[in-house]
Amino acid sequence: MTAALRIGTRGSALALAQTGVMADAIAKASGLEVEIVPIASEGDHSTASLASLGGTGVFASRLREALIADTCDLVVHSLKDLPTAPYPGLRIGAVPKRADARDVLSARDGLTLDGLDVGARVGTGSPRRAAQLRALRPEVEVVDIRGNVDTRLRKVTDGELDAVILAAAGLGRLGRLDAVTEYFELSRWATAPGQGALAIEVREHYSAEFGAMLKAIDHPSTRMAVFAERAVLARLEAGCSAPIGASAVLDGEMLFLTATVYASDGSNSLTSSHALVVEGSATERALLPDELGARVGDELLRLGAAELAPLGTDQ
């Protein structure tokens, strides 16, 4: 490996915070100095909605280009923002241990979702969260918003919105869990495939020393769970911003996966759950998340997911 490892990341406060945590882990695992390289993307500058920009994959594109161009040696992504389609010349080298996968509410006056008034204005930039909100509280107004975490929270404190819905993991990494007024349990409120997890993306070919570093920061059970969740997206040919929630967990030798597809207006949803025994060789075990995700995705398609939601094509 080189004298210093260059870690590419978006320049937002959240991206820099989570990359800083990974930089410490990478430095410890490799014994090398690390350099954080902020890289701007179209998504960071545009004020248009994520759906109109082509989904959250817009944030990954510039990082991947920088990695291919050797501007950096690896990049750190929020896994839920990473498209499932393979990118030529790159691979996910490591998936560190997952943080809290739940969504949370941050509302004025400490309110919960059920406590919001009729007509309350709730902000989110996620089609999935918007669909879930319309299903559970059809009498509130969903407001499409963009901006970093502080900008979104400020819309509540300034009175522009009554509440916003955010990811617990992001608030935790920024030290802003004090803003949470309610945690949404996964059994009631499914979250995005890969939410709470990070992905370390690297070029396909690297040295044995680099591979040892990646192995040291990888968390195998997290990798298996999030790859199963992402396999549902891939089977449905759905982009990162599609109204789909998924949750997988490895419990002993069983891998469980549940996924839900929502109608955009919240009027309906479809859910599928399956499980597999985790057994066989390392190569066979590595294929299980794809198999499980395909089973769940196939059942959702049989139930009518393609007619229910705007799945589109993965970006």
β-strand partners of 275: 256
- 261 within domain boundaries: yes
pLDDT tier, 49 (very low <50, low <70, confident <90, very high otherwise): very low
Tokens of 35: 């350099």
Strand segments (E) across 32-151 = 33-38, 74-78, 90-94, 103-107, 121-124, 141-144
Q: How far is CA 306 from CA 25, 191, 243, 244, 270, in A?
A: 41, 19, 11, 12, 11
Same-domain status, 52 and 124: no
- 234 within domain boundaries: yes
> Mean of the per-residue pLDDT values for the chain?
92
Q: Is the pLDDT of residue 44 over 80?
A: no
Same-domain status, 2 and 68: yes
Q: Is the pLDDT of residue 69 over 60?
A: yes
Q: What angle do CA 195, 15, 123 make, to 5 degrees?
A: 60
Same-domain status, 79 and 3: yes
Tokens of 190: 């499914």
- 190 within domain boundaries: no
Same-domain status, 83 and 116: no
**Contact at 8 Å (CB) between 87 and 79?**
no
Count how many residues are written for the chain. Answer: 315
Same-domain status, 31 and 53: yes
pLDDT tier, 314 (very low <50, low <70, confident <90, very high otherwise): very low
Same-domain status, 203 and 225: no
Structural domain including 299 reads: 219-307
The distance from CA 260 to its chain's CA centroid, rounded to whole angstroms, is 15
Number of domains the chain contains: 3
- 188 within domain boundaries: no
pLDDT of residue 3: 75
Same-domain status, 58 and 69: yes
Q: Which of 243, 220, 215 is nearest to 300 (CA)?
A: 243
User: How close are the terminal C-alpha atoms of the chain, in Å?
Assistant: 32
pLDDT of residue 41: 64
Q: Find the range with the poorest average confidence among 198-202, 223-227, 234-238.
A: 234-238
- 166 within domain boundaries: yes
Share of the chain above pLDDT 70, in %: 92
Same-domain status, 49 and 69: yes
- 269 within domain boundaries: yes
Q: Which residues are catalytic?
A: 81
Q: How far is CA 155 from CA 15, 126, 264, in A?
A: 21, 16, 24
User: The domain spanning residue 238 has which CATH number?
Assistant: 3.30.160.40
pLDDT of residue 268: 96
Q: Is the pLDDT of residue 239 over 90?
A: no
Same-domain status, 79 and 93: yes
Same-domain status, 273 and 157: no
Residue pLDDT, tens place only, 103-148:
999 999 999 999 999 999 999 999 999 999 999 999 999 999 999 9
User: The domain spanning residue 28 has which CATH number?
Assistant: 3.40.190.10
Tokens of 294: 């395909």
Same-domain status, 173 and 301: no
User: Residue 17 CB: number of other CB atoms within 10 A?
Assistant: 16
What's the rounded mean pLDDT across residues 196-215?
97
Q: How far is CA 245 from CA 26, 74, 81, in A?
A: 30, 28, 13
- 20 within domain boundaries: yes
Q: Which residue type sits at 175?
A: G
Q: Is the pLDDT higher at 168 or at 239?
A: 168
Q: Is the pLDDT of residue 152 over 70?
A: yes
- 191 within domain boundaries: no
Same-domain status, 81 and 173: no
pLDDT of residue 1: 55
pLDDT tier, 58 (very low <50, low <70, confident <90, very high otherwise): low
Local structure of 227: helix, strand or coil: helix
Helix pair angle (282-303, 220-236), 10° resolution: 40
How much is the pTM?
Answer: 0.90
**Contact at 8 Å (CB) between 42 and 102?**
no
